[in-house]
Amino acid sequence: MVSEEVGTKLVRFLYFVGAGVICTAGINMWRDLERKSALQKAAEAASEEPAPVSNGPAAAVKS
């Protein structure tokens, strides 16, 4: 009787720990995806040429 109770509690505890491991892995994967997405957007923004300024010195020369 006592061994059944201990076994049942142990199994429940291991399920709980396993769920925690799975959730932690999922959270870490999500953070990696978000970080990679942010890095990709920053790289794309850095590679784009800046738009010409319409009221800068070049605009004064053209007028």
Please write down the HEC assignment for all residues of the chain: CHHHHHHHHHHHHHHHHHHHHHHHHHHHHHHHHHHHHHHHHHHHHHHCCCCCCCCCHHHHHHC
Phi-psi region of 22 (alpha: psi -120 to 50; beta: other; left: phi over 0): alpha
pLDDT digits (tens, 9 = 90+) for 14-51: 999 999 999 999 999 999 999 999 999 999 888 876 66
The pLDDT assigned to 4 comes to 83
The pLDDT assigned to 9 comes to 94
Q: Residue 62: is its pLDDT beyond 60?
A: no
The pLDDT assigned to 46 comes to 84
Q: Residue 53: is its pLDDT beyond 70?
A: no
Closest of 62, 39, 41 to residue 52, by C-alpha: 62
pTM: 0.61
